[in-house]
A = this chain, B = another copy of it.
Amino acid sequence: MVSIDEVARLAGVSTATVSRALSGRARVSDSAKQRVHAAAASLGYVVSASASSLASGRNRNVGLLVPFLERWFFSTVLSGTAAELMRQGYDTTLYSLAEDRDLRRNVFDTLLRRRRVDGVIAVSLELEDDEIEGLLALGIPVIAIGGPNPKLSTLTVDDVGVARLATQHLLALGHRRIAHIGASAEFDLDFHIPTQRRLGFEQALADAGVDVRTTRFEPADFTIEGGFRAAKRLLGGAGARPTAIFAASDEMAIGALLAARELGHRVPDDLSVIGVDGHELSEFFQLTTVDQFPLLQGARAASAMLAVLSGAEPPEPTPLPFELVVRATTARPPE
């Protein structure tokens, strides 16, 4: 492997100058800079990450903590983050916490403590107290996306606001019998976000003078299948059918769409459906949704991390954008 000494020799300067010229962290004369770059290029020299890290304490590497990889939302956020980091020459090291508890502990106790990452971005994770302590004890910046983590610097959409926006859209169309498909209890344990959405839903109803007790709530697991089953219960049961369903995720909303179709209800004539996310499938299904731009969320977190790493203050709890996208699954309720 070609080392910094060979570059120095070829460029006719000291190793220190090579280091400075290549990292740009100190002033170097133009002529020296040019010779160094030429020498490095001709030798195909690339700085050794471990040597550089050991000497400088910097890694150019950010750790990403995610709950699952297979869910569209997470992989999309992840994609946004990794792309932005890469753009700045940073690597992304992945820690998935889907595994069993021992492995999860191991992430905090060992993997993250090897000082391989300059910072940690936690995506939509409800972390336990000692895990948060563990992160903070690393002595490196930690940024969370979503999931109210009061002790962490967090980028988050206003989930209450998201839910209010969705619900208000239905109310404005004239709906009064609105049902909500949200988080099942055990699901909520991990994320909390869902509860916020239910809160926003109920607030909007209350603001509009709709008695919340007349609405129905069905828990589900944020998948298409879960939404499908929840909608079946909502539409198949006795009592007055809702004229609209607000699902806390697009995947559940799509499930509801399919359920309605299967039961012979026309959307949006008989039933309106709205979701949350801006899922890639929402356009295909012509689903009205509140887009929360997950790719952007990931990129934002990466930018914030990069800024902190170059000396900026940790970001204030920043509101992330969201936007109502009206498509073809919502309309006025039937007479």
Q: Which residues of A contact B (CB under 8 A)?
A: 1, 46-51, 53-54, 59, 61, 64, 68-70, 72, 75-76, 78-79, 82-83, 86-87, 89, 91-96, 98-99, 103, 106-107, 109-111, 113-116, 224-225, 228, 261, 280-281, 283-284
Which of B78, B86, B103, B228 contacts A86, CB < 8 Å? B103
Determine the distance from Cα of A61 to Cα of B111 in the docked complex, in whole angstroms. 11
Sample of 28 A–B contacts (CB below 8 Å) = A47-B114, A48-B54, A49-B115, A50-B51, A50-B53, A50-B115, A50-B116, A51-B54, A54-B54, A69-B75, A69-B76, A69-B79, A70-B72, A70-B79, A70-B280, A82-B94, A82-B96, A83-B98, A86-B95, A86-B111, A89-B111, A91-B93, A91-B94, A91-B95, A93-B94, A224-B281, A225-B283, A228-B284
Instruction: Look across to chain B and name the residue whose beta carbon is closest to the beta carbon of A73.
Output: B70
* Residue contact B87 to A103, C-beta cutoff 8 Å: yes
* Residue contact B70 to A76, C-beta cutoff 8 Å: yes
Instruction: Look across to chain B and name the residue whose beta carbon is closest to the beta carbon of A280.
Output: B70
Nearest CB of B to A60, in Å: 8
Determine the distance from Cα of A215 to Cα of B253 in the docked complex, in whole angstroms. 37
List of B residues within 8 angstroms of A75 by Cβ? 69-70, 75
List of B residues within 8 angstroms of A69 by Cβ? 75-76, 78-79, 82
List of B residues within 8 angstroms of A115 by Cβ? 1, 48-50
- Given A86-B96, A93-B94: 5 more A-B contacts, CB < 8 Å: A1-B115, A61-B93, A79-B98, A91-B111, A225-B283
Determine the distance from Cα of A280 to Cα of B47 in the docked complex, in whole angstroms. 42
Which of B72, B89, B116 contacts A72, CB < 8 Å? B72
Nearest CB of B to A220, in Å: 13
List of B residues within 8 angstroms of A72 by Cβ? 70, 72
Determine the distance from Cα of A93 to Cα of B61 in the docked complex, in whole angstroms. 9
Determine the distance from Cα of A117 to Cα of B94 in the docked complex, in whole angstroms. 13
What are the nearest 9 A-B pairs in CB distance?
A50-B53, A49-B114, A69-B79, A75-B75, A49-B116, A46-B113, A50-B54, A50-B50, A225-B284
Determine the distance from Cα of A257 to Cα of B107 in the docked complex, in whole angstroms. 42
* Residue contact A93 to B96, C-beta cutoff 8 Å: no
Which of B70, B94, B114 contacts A92, CB < 8 Å? B94
* Residue contact A116 to B99, C-beta cutoff 8 Å: no
Nearest CB of B to A244, in Å: 23
Which of A61, A75, A280: most chain B CB closer than 10 A? Answer: A75
Which of A46, A49, A109, A225: most chain B CB closer than 10 A? Answer: A49
* Residue contact B99 to A83, C-beta cutoff 8 Å: yes
List of B residues within 8 angstroms of A261 by Cβ? 261
Instruction: Look across to chain B and name the residue whose beta carbon is closest to the beta carbon of A64.
Output: B94
Instruction: Look across to chain B and name the residue whose beta carbon is closest to the beta carbon of A139.
Output: B1
Instruction: Look across to chain B and name the residue whose beta carbon is closest to the beta carbon of A59.
Output: B50
* Residue contact B103 to A116, C-beta cutoff 8 Å: no
* Residue contact B95 to A93, C-beta cutoff 8 Å: no
* Residue contact A94 to B94, C-beta cutoff 8 Å: yes
List of B residues within 8 angstroms of A280 by Cβ? 70
* Residue contact B95 to A116, C-beta cutoff 8 Å: no
